[in-house]
Structure 1
Amino acid sequence: MKLLETITVAAIVGLQALGAAHAQPKDTLQKIKDTGVISLGGRDASFPFSYKLSSDDTPIGFSADLCMKVVDAVKAKLGMPNLKVNYTIVTPANRISLVQNGTVDLECSTTTNTVARAQQVEFAPAHFVASVAAAVKKSSGINSMAQLEGKTVATVTGSTSIQLLRAFRKNEKLEINEISGKDTADAFLLLSSDRAAAMIVEDVQLAGLIARTNNPGEYRILEERLREEPYGFMYRKDDPQFKAMVDGTLTSLMKNGEINELYAKWFTRPVPPTGANINLPMPSAIKETYRNPNNRGV
């Protein structure tokens, strides 16, 4: 009887796995054509890449603009000018699974392309290169990463900054406590409310968070960097037609220089809703990425 039960359970598990495999669309363009909808993934607080002005709005930002360039290319390719765009707000914790299971066709925010993640999803050519750094309050007296000894540091759940912080702590033999926020805004609140002495995430996101505070002069970003982080859009693996569409569109924007104007719009000029300006001229690492588009992970 036990043997029969074991065989039955194994069969059910096998059928479930088979069903899950079939549930993942392999031809995204065909899926879009059949449903009349392209499903995008974005964030609600990743300023200025993908963020919402209100709870009812769709995300805006640098990543969102680039994503819509891909949508326009899909419309032209399929001859569907009235293609519906459906946005799902994703988090660092669920963004990969939502791409894999077909909920999101193209995830457009601030996901770092890592070798480990590239085993689960496909990455488009990097559209931004950031560096992981720490922000502190000037009043804390903290001027280096070594001075985080014995302090509590805020990170973002599911982000690469967690692993980098732990590696730094181990290599430098420091005692550093961790506390995580569900997104960048939540993690920055931990810093601003003094529940954390520092926040570690990509420097551009720290700059954006600081620029939008009432008192930006209270904060500083430490000079040390833990690692460069290439951001890339995610989509499902083993889908050569959709890969050609996404990669070709972004590569064209980089090669013809159109992406430079979009970069200037979001990183060197005032942006909604408060007119904050990150004032981040294009770094050499990003210029090189646009000259030679690639999806190499870290």
Structure 2
Amino acid sequence: MIGRRGLCTVAAGLAILGGTRRAMAETNLATIRQNKKLRVAIDMGNPPHGMLDGKFQPIGSDVETAQLLAKDLGVALEVVQVPTPSRVQFLLSNRADLVISALSITPERRQVVEFSIPYASLKTVVAAPAAMAISSYADLAGQRVAVTRGTVNDQYLTQGVKNVPNVTVTRFEDDATTSTAITSGQLQIYASSLPLITQLKQTNPSLDLAVKFTMHGFPIGIALRKDDPEFKAYLDNWVTTNLRNGKLVDIYKKWQDVVISPEELIAYHD
């Protein structure tokens, strides 16, 4: 027999579960269409994926991808600006319906969120002044390296230098702050995504920053909450369609100057 205290505990658990299910129901595909609004979390400090133009309007490859998705859904787009380390948290706390923000598909993230098939791919690299003799993690011995906290760049750098002596990994809270540390000369070695390094060099032509080696290449997907098969099926079909018709390929080429392979992304299995 369950006592009064046990009944209260069960009731509390059911209330939490019910609240979670209601929150999910409020953000499913049908409700998004009914409300005529799609909330997408995008890091605006991660050019050229997401940034603000001279009129403080969101632009970038992820912004344009979200705009295309909202247009095809027939709803308005609300860009939810989010710091890099908080992208998944914004989704789980129902402050956004989706994350389209250079979010790599990893086993760790799959434990807490679901992903569409990849809509693009990304390389994470280590860059430094051209004269520096760096071609592997081992060459970072005795060096200071800048990286943004909580990113896959941080993850692979940390793993890579685990057994390398005297490496100081300096972590910043967002890409904008990390990039400022490089452009100001505070630090010289940068572990980041290839598009961000390319963008940084374009906006700072005198910056002495060359790609030294690739840490990892990985696919990036649209993140959604788990247990929403209808929305995932829609997103998978949407990504497949817009890879094959070239729209997503054109967006990535426009902003990243990289040509992605649609069939390679469509066939991806982690």
Which band: TM-score by shorter chain? 0.7 to 0.9
- 8 Å CA contact 1:23–1:102 kept in 2: the answer is no
Change (3 A) 1:168 1:24: same
- CA shift, 1:23, in A, is 5.1
Structure 1 pair 13/155, CA: closer, same or farther in 2 (3 Å)?
A: farther
Counterpart residue number, 1:63: 62
Deviations 1:168-215 (A, max 9, x none): 1124x3321111122222111112223323110122221112221141
CA deviations 1:122-147 (Å, max 9, x no partner) are 112212222221111235x3433433
TM superposition score normalised by structure 1: 0.79
Cα distance in structure 1, aligned partners of 2:92 and 2:12: 19
1:186 alignment counterpart: 177
More displaced 10-residue stretch of structure 1: 181-190 or 15-24? 15-24
Question: How far is 1:71 from its partner?
Answer: 1.1
Mapped contact 1:113–1:295 kept (Cα < 8 A): no
CA deviation vs aligned residue, 1:217-254 (integer Å, no higher than 9, x gap): x21110x2221121111111211221122221111011
What do the CA deviations read for 1:92-112 (whole angstroms, capped 9, x no partner)?
A: 221112112221112112111
Describe the shift of the 1:13–1:64 C-alpha distance in structure 2 as closer, same or farther (beyond 3 A).
same
Q: Is the 8 A contact 1:232 1:295 kept in 2?
A: no
Q: For 1:231 and 1:292, locate their aligned partners in 2 and report how far apart those are by CA, in whole Å.
A: 9
- Partners in 1 of 2:104 and 2:267 — Cα distance? 13
Q: Which position in structure 1 is the counterpart of 2:266? A: 293
Counterpart position of 2:242: 253
Distance 1:23 1:177, change over 3 A: farther
In the alignment, the residues of structure 2 paired with residue 70 and residue 133 of structure 1 have an alpha-carbon distance, to the nearest angstrom, of 29
Conservation of the 8 A alpha-carbon contact between 1:128 and 1:232:
yes
Structure 1 residues 154 and 12: alpha-carbon distance in aligned structure 2, compared to 1, 3 A threshold: farther
Q: Structure 1 207/56 Cα, relative in aligned 2: closer, same or farther at 3 Å?
A: closer
SS in 1 for 2:24: coil
Distance 1:179 1:291, change over 3 A: closer
- CA distance, structure 2, for counterparts of residue 86 and residue 240 of structure 1: 23
Unaligned runs of 5+ in 1: 76-82, 268-279
CA distance change for structure 1 residues 61 and 11 in 2, over 3 Å: closer, same or farther?
same
- Structure 1 residues 137, 192: closer, same or farther in 2, change over 3 A? farther
CA pair 194-13 structure 1, distance change in 2 beyond 3 A: farther
Q: Could you tell me which residue of structure 2 aligns to residue 215 of structure 1?
A: 206
Once the two structures are superposed, residues 19-69 of structure 1 have per-residue CA deviations (whole angstroms, 9 ceiling, x without a partner) of 652453145123314433211111212211121115742x21112222222
> Out of 121, 130, 149, which is 1:129 matched to?
121
TM-score (norm 2): 0.86
| 1:84-99 → structure 2 map (5 Å cutoff) | 84-99=76-91
Alignment RMSD: 2.7
Q: Does 1:228 align with 2:217?
A: yes
**Other-structure match for 1:272:** none
Provide the residue aligned with 2:226 in structure 1: 237
Q: Which structure 2 residue ranges, 5 or more long, are not aligned?
A: none
Change in 2 beyond 3 A, CA 1:72/1:245: farther
Q: 1:243/1:158 Cα in 2 relative to 1: closer, same or farther (>3 Å)?
A: same
Aligned partner of 1:118: which letter? R
Partners of 2:254 and 2:63 in 1: how far apart?
13
Q: CA deviation at 1:89?
A: 0.6
Amino-acid identity (%): 21
Name the counterpart of 2:51: 51
Change (3 A) 1:219 1:24: same
Determine helix, strand or coil for the equivalent of 2:83. Answer: coil
The 5 Å alignment of 1:268-287 reads: 280-282=257-259, 286-287=260-261
